[in-house]
Structure 1
Amino acid sequence: MSVVDERFTLLNDMPPEGPDADLLGTGPVAAGLADLVHSSRGNTPFVLAVDGAWGTGKSTLMGQLSVELARRPDVEVVWFNAWTASGVSALTGMLTLVLGRLDRNVVRRSFRRLNSGGLLTGTVRLGLSAVAGFFRVDRAIDELWDRMAVDARAREDARRLVQDAVTSWVDDQHGRPRRTIAVFVDDLDRCDEATTVEIFEVIKLYLDLPGIAFVLGCDLAVLSSMRVPGVEETAQVRHYLEKIVQVTYQIPPPEEAAVRATIRGYAERSGTTDLLTDATTALIGRQTGGNPRRVKRLINSFVTEYRIDPGWRDVGAEALMRAVLLQHLYPECYRAIRAGTGDTVGDLLDYRWIRESRWQRPGDVDLGCPGLAPFLERYGLSPDDPEVLARLDERVPDGWSTLADNADLAALLTDLGGPTDRLRLQQRLRRRPLRTAPAPEAAARVRLDGVRLLWIDDTPVNNEPVLDSLTARGAQIRTAGTGAQALDLLRHFAPNLLVSDVTRDGTEVGFDDLRAIRSAGYTGPALFHSGWVTPERRTLAEAAGANGITSSVDDLIDWVERHATARSRPGSERSGGDPPTWG
């Protein structure tokens, strides 16, 4: 592999470390929040929430804040991994972390004081001889942690021990400002609801103590919709959160300059700087909203495709980068290209030109020019038809008007080059589509046992990722390249679900094929899957006996799942009964 190839490297998802890594420019905010927490330590306990949506830089800001606080005198910083906590482990984990930051002698004295005063209950009162070392190897305290899962008295003992030890540690400063433990809990909104509530209970019932400040990383909009025992209305959940959180810092939308600097920084680290122009950088910033995680995934997709598929060396890294941009930023356009057979990009650009001309010079659009006549003919239209413009809107795929009106997309498509270069790229994507897009989640979806799917398509290779996903979940699938093959499989395979393309060899034969299959006795659900979905095609699909037509893989999978669920209901017919409603 060449040196140039090896320059392209993956980006990790870890928060950046060090001042030079602060691409988002959050350092000053972190320093300001650190000053706020440190100067307010005499008023602890309190909870600061760093609020923001997924991928907006919460972890980065919290990491910088923790570094700033660790530099301040009399502040101890601990991190609690909320993802690994569940049930009582949230309680034992957080208490263990907090006690672990205290002087071990302070913990021993607190245990001795409570034990001798009769304030510790049950078998935990083992006497001072059992306290042989630090709490992690102390038999009495280890037993206390073990009992907390099933014993309310043990949990009360733990609360007393932590309260006494933390209070002694915080105030043992001979008149100097009290010491503080800053507890960081990130990704709280990514935990299951039971764990989140458990963590909140630990904060309020066990660690609501002078000297403890919490910094929570979360999306409060997500937490506001969680289920809380005894709380039913969303407004009540928000009131519940207000009792937990005293102050909120909401991650602001990044400024344009910061977004550009972030993207350039990621490009430099991944070796893709030469592939991103100023215009492309601005486009990525607008379409991702400056979300660092989305930017990293886009760049990582390019790096992975280029490194694992030698065929892209011939097409060119620049062309691949633009294909990845289409896949990530304009998935509808990418799907249309993959589903097409000719120069889909050219058709979309021609359609945009017609729409712009019609708007700018109504009644004065030259539809007879050499470049547009073939375009109109591909949609069965004539430049001489006085209603050609109105009919064109009905013939092009659904959503094309929105795509054609997008100036950023038009500029990206224009950058694909002339007809020869862009057709070469489109044909490459049809033969070997990009493989780094997130695959449909199968783990959380229903099983498809009992589904017998007949899929008619003359280019089945385009459907392999979907076919593999459905097969892995229990579906039995047979493919046919023609209507005649489908009729033969109808007799031997006995499908209860049918998916078909529309166009083969440039002719719309799918509708007639479905009529023939219906006449042969098939009564189950049927769906057309095509990159070209127009109002006219919807009408033709319904007339042919289909439940619908879609260009979306996600909608297709959802449709199969609904069919499988309908079949699993008691009393359903072998052929699937009434087909699921498509809409």
Structure 2
Amino acid sequence: MIVADNETSVDLLYYEAIAHTVVRLVNEKSDEPLTVGVHGDWGAGKSSVLMMVEDAFADRERVLCVRFNGWLFQGYEDAKAVLIETIVEELLRSQSASTRVVNQAKTVLRRVDWMKFARRVGGVAFTAATGVPHPDTLKELYGAASNLVGKSADSITQGDLRSVVEQAGQYLKEAEPETETAPQQMHAFREEFEELLRRADIDRLVVLVDDLDRCLPETAIETLEAIRLFLFVPKAAFVIAADEGMIEYAVRQHFPDLPVAAGPATYARNYLEKLIQVPFRLPSLGYAETRIYIILLLVLNECGEQSDEFQKLVAFARQVLRRPWKGPGLDRNGVAEALGTVPPSVERALDLAYRIAPILTDGARGNPRQVKRFINTMVLRLAIAEERGFGDDLNPTVLAKIMLAERFAPEVYDAIARGSAGTGASEELAELEAVVRGDRQEPKDAEGGKKKDTGSDVALEASALPDWPNLEWAKQWAMIDPSLAEYDLRPYVFVTRDRRSVFGAVTSLGELDELLAKLSGPPLQVRQAAAEVARLPGSEAEQLFDALRAKATVAEDFSEQPAGALGLAVICQHHSFLQPSLIAFLKGLPVSKLGPWAVTGWTNALTSEDVKVEFKTLLSEWAAQDDNKPLQVAAKAARQMGRGGERR
């Protein structure tokens, strides 16, 4: 089971306290216009807080709660109009039986239509003045005509477009003289909107604006401007969830000519503070909160949201999260008291959280989404291993430790992958763990007694450590139990192979690395390695073949023989079961870029009769093609000789 990475009303972080504070603030200021900001990084839990606010108002008949996701309406021609229409439509839905509300809503929507047409008329005027139809104007007119005449854009005529322009002009003519200017239009709209709220007879309109920081700058600013200029009226409250940094970026992009700063703060910051009256910033998770969150996610993954274990554990966790600085958090004694016992699922979660929470707290920077993704990825990999039949070979704690390195220190993970490809053990990793855990054998003096620690001993220990840029982090990581030196790491590296291609050409082959280098070298060196190749077991020969084939396949220039091609021939000469794979390699090379080298030199490597037939067929194909003349000539010559020539 994977925990969905979206907003949720299941409160695992006790954000309900923040939501209830927002609700209380809205209730206390019920007659005043109000804007509340819920700030935090992406994945901090802003959307979940909005959902909890919405749930808190669900039973309040005289409070209308409207949810608006700016990101879902990305690409609309007028973000202000979309926001206003969404609010009015929700008022209509909740008050559809009231004729007074319906009539006033039509008036407000008519004003919105006027603003839309006013924008288009500016484009029409430009066209009339210059005689050149602007593409944006045509697009807007086609869209408007589609709405007005009920036709598709393909079937709209010039007459339809003229009708749209005439109606736009009629809207302007019908505007009262005192409301012809833009400020007067805004003032009229505000009065009409306030009247709509009075007729709706509600105590509070609460608009929850979400995902604004995901929008393009223009959409974000238009939405904020709609709140500030049109909708900031009595009884209206807006709760805006957004990352302050992204909104400040949108302000800078939308107003590029503004000075950088005004006094101690930037203009972008001043704009945001002017709009948001009461800011709430979601705090980053500390160690205690991260550990509790990991435990709850693991139990939720294993037992499900409706399980009795999970429900009781969440209730106990909320009590602890009220004062996370006190006590050990979700300790076994507290869990046993709350649940009556410590179920195996909770026991496993407690143990794993204890091991990984310290580093995950710093690495994820207190971001709940990053923690959740880590847990989801780990659970998914364990499920894949189970489906492939080697689930029993994986210890979740070991996998979690390797994933910490994968996520926060790639050089450590790369060392694990390199060292474990052969025997499953990493010498670099074992040395690191031995040093930081104090498992190295203590030096002896001449008489066999313990030798005193000296500066040179300390320097010797330090010099034994790998030269990694993030060595201090690696030391802390190496102290986490269990010690990886005790495990065969190959299944763990395999299940995390999305990090890198650990079994391709870049992978270390352990003791075979030296032979791999010889087979990738010049002809004399390759021939000298033939005796070693002949003594190899089939599995190791196949490993070498795959490594050489991968190296040859990624060559930049196939007009010349790529490194490793000679080695492939030598391996196939002594291990015939790989000869069909050599033919497949040759067939996969790009014909248009292939040099004549591909035609000759395979006589000793291709001993099977079936394989020889396949190679002759390939030669015929190369001889028949016209894209590569040198290859064509060489292939025809080889066919006439009846065999591939000997390699130089």
Q: TM-score, normalised by structure 2?
A: 0.52
Q: How many residues align?
A: 408
Residue 204 (structure 1) aligns with: 228
Aligned AA (2:195): S
Counterpart among 463, 466, 471 of residue 401 in structure 1: 471
SS in 2 for 1:43: coil
Give the stretch that moved more between structures: 74-83 or 222-231: 222-231
Rate the CA distance shift 1:367–1:158 in 2: closer, same or farther, 3 A.
farther
Contact kept? 2:399, 2:492, Cα under 8 Å: no
CA deviation profile, 1:233-267 (whole Å, cap 9, x unmatched): 26121122223222211112345444333222211
Rate the CA distance shift 1:164–1:437 in 2: closer, same or farther, 3 A.
farther
SS in 2 for 1:194: helix
Give the stretch that moved more between structures: 48-57 or 228-237: 228-237
SS in 2 for 1:225: helix
Q: CA deviation at 1:66?
A: 1.9
Q: CA deviation at 1:218?
A: 1.0
Q: CA deviation at 1:36?
A: 0.5
CA deviation profile, 1:101-150 (whole Å, cap 9, x unmatched): 32343454336778999x979999xxxxxxxxxxxxxx99x759x989x9
Residue 415 (structure 1) aligns with: 482
Mapped pair 1:297 → 2:297 = no
Residue 264 (structure 1) aligns with: 295
Mapped pair 1:428 → 2:491 = yes
SS in 1 for 2:38: strand
Counterpart among 351, 354, 357 of residue 282 in structure 1: 357
Q: CA deviation at 1:349?
A: 5.0
Residue 191 (structure 1) aligns with: 215
Q: Which has the larger radius of gyration?
A: 2
Counterpart among 64, 68, 90 of residue 56 in structure 2: 68
Q: 2 CA distance for matches of 1:354 and 1:75?
A: 64
Q: 2 CA distance for matches of 1:253 and 1:169?
A: 41
Q: CA deviation at 1:308?
A: 2.3
Rate the CA distance shift 1:244–1:91 in 2: closer, same or farther, 3 A.
same
Of Structure 1 and Structure 2, which has the larger fraction of its residues in helix?
2
Q: CA deviation at 1:94?
A: 1.0
Counterpart among 27, 31, 34 of residue 23 in structure 2: 34
Mapped pair 1:24 → 2:24 = no
Q: CA deviation at 1:354?
A: 4.0
Q: CA deviation at 1:57?
A: 1.5
Matches within 5 A, 1:163-562: 163-172=190-199, 179-226=203-250, 227-232=252-257, 233=260, 235-254=266-285, 256-271=287-302, 273-276=346-349, 277=351, 278-280=353-355, 282-283=357-358, 284-309=360-385, 310-318=388-396, 319-341=398-420, 347-351=428-432, 353-354=434-435, 366=443, 389=459, 393=463, 396-399=466-469, 401-406=471-476, 409-412=477-480, 414-416=481-483, 419=485, 421-422=486-487, 424=488, 426-430=489-493, 432-435=494-497, 481=547, 492-493=558-559
Residue 88 (structure 2) aligns with: 99
Q: CA deviation at 1:303?
A: 2.1
CA deviation profile, 1:184-205 (whole Å, cap 9, x unmatched): 1112112221211121222223
Q: 2 CA distance for matches of 1:237 and 1:259?
A: 32
Q: CA deviation at 1:400?
A: 5.8
Q: CA deviation at 1:484?
A: 13
CA deviation profile, 1:258-315 (whole Å, cap 9, x unmatched): 4333222211110164543152363344543443212221221122212223243231
Q: CA deviation at 1:394?
A: 8.6
SS in 2 for 1:169: helix
Contact kept? 2:205, 2:237, Cα under 8 Å: yes
CA deviation profile, 1:441-460 (whole Å, cap 9, x unmatched): xxxxxxxxxxxxx9776769
Q: 2 CA distance for matches of 1:488 and 1:186?
A: 47
Aligned AA (1:427): R
Q: CA deviation at 1:69?
A: 3.0
Residue 10 (structure 1) aligns with: 2
Contact kept? 2:419, 2:428, Cα under 8 Å: no
Residue 109 (structure 1) aligns with: 103
Residue 49 (structure 1) aligns with: 37
Q: 2 CA distance for matches of 1:109 and 1:488?
A: 71
Q: 2 CA distance for matches of 1:115 and 1:327?
A: 54
Aligned AA (2:371): V
CA deviation profile, 1:163-196 (whole Å, cap 9, x unmatched): 344312333488xxx6321111112112221211
Q: CA deviation at 1:65?
A: 1.5
Rate the CA distance shift 1:179–1:437 in 2: closer, same or farther, 3 A.
farther
Q: 1 CA distance for matches of 2:52 and 2:196?
A: 26
Contact kept? 1:171, 1:179, Cα under 8 Å: no
SS in 2 for 1:76: strand
Contact kept? 1:55, 1:293, Cα under 8 Å: yes
Q: 1 CA distance for matches of 2:474 and 2:109?
A: 76
Q: Where does the alignment leave 5 or more consecutive residues of structure 1 unmatched?
A: 1-8, 125-138, 370-384, 440-453, 461-478, 497-583
Give the stretch that moved more between structures: 28-37 or 221-230: 221-230
Contact kept? 1:99, 1:107, Cα under 8 Å: no
SS in 2 for 1:88: coil
CA deviation profile, 1:339-380 (whole Å, cap 9, x unmatched): 33567656335345546879xx9xx962999xxxxxxxxxxx
Q: 2 CA distance for matches of 1:291 and 1:336?
A: 28
Matches within 5 A, 1:142-157: none
Give the stretch that moved more between structures: 342-351 or 77-86: 342-351
Q: 1 CA distance for matches of 2:60 and 2:561?
A: 70
Contact kept? 1:111, 1:161, Cα under 8 Å: no
- Identity between Structure 1 and Structure 2 (%): 21
Q: 1 CA distance for matches of 2:214 and 2:115?
A: 37
Residue 324 (structure 2) aligns with: none
Q: 2 CA distance for matches of 1:350 and 1:87?
A: 59
SS in 1 for 2:274: helix
Contact kept? 1:305, 1:436, Cα under 8 Å: no
Q: 2 CA distance for matches of 1:93 and 1:194?
A: 14
SS in 2 for 1:79: strand
Rate the CA distance shift 1:36–1:345 in 2: closer, same or farther, 3 A.
farther
Aligned AA (2:233): L
Q: 1 CA distance for matches of 2:347 and 2:414?
A: 27
Q: CA deviation at 1:330?
A: 4.4
Contact kept? 1:48, 1:247, Cα under 8 Å: yes
Contact kept? 1:38, 1:69, Cα under 8 Å: no
Q: CA deviation at 1:76?
A: 0.7
Contact kept? 1:95, 1:162, Cα under 8 Å: no
Give the stretch that moved more between structures: 385-394 or 74-83: 385-394
Rate the CA distance shift 1:11–1:143 in 2: closer, same or farther, 3 A.
same
Contact kept? 1:180, 1:212, Cα under 8 Å: yes
Q: TM-score, normalised by structure 1?
A: 0.57
Q: Where does the alignment leave 5 or more consecutive residues of structure 2 unmatched?
A: 119-143, 154-163, 176-181, 303-344, 447-454, 511-544, 563-648
Matches within 5 A, 1:129-144: none
Q: 1 CA distance for matches of 2:365 and 2:116?
A: 57
Aligned AA (2:90): R
Q: CA deviation at 1:208?
A: 2.4
